[in-house]
Amino acid sequence: MAMNKNTVLAWATWIMIIVGLSLIALGAFRYDDVAGWGFAAVGIGFFAIAWVFNALKGRV
């Protein structure tokens, strides 16, 4: 299987979504104090970066 630029960006997008969801879940279910808000904020940041990776597919 040959991986070109678009497949690499697609894999990176899915990995970032999974990591973002896991960070939001950690913030929601594991940590009940201020650290939970930090985990959730970083998870949302991962979603933003995944959105950029998805927008770059086909343009790079």
- Give the chain's length: 60
For residue 17, what pLDDT is reported?
94
pLDDT digits (tens, 9 = 90+) for 19-54: 999 999 999 999 888 999 999 999 999 999 999 988
pLDDT at 46: 95
Q: Please state whether the predicted TM-score (pTM) of the whole model is above 0.85.
A: no
The DSSP letter of residue 30 is I
Triad 13, 14, 20: Cα angle to 5°: 90
Dist CA 33 CA 15 (whole Å): 27
CB 9 within 8 A of CB 50: no
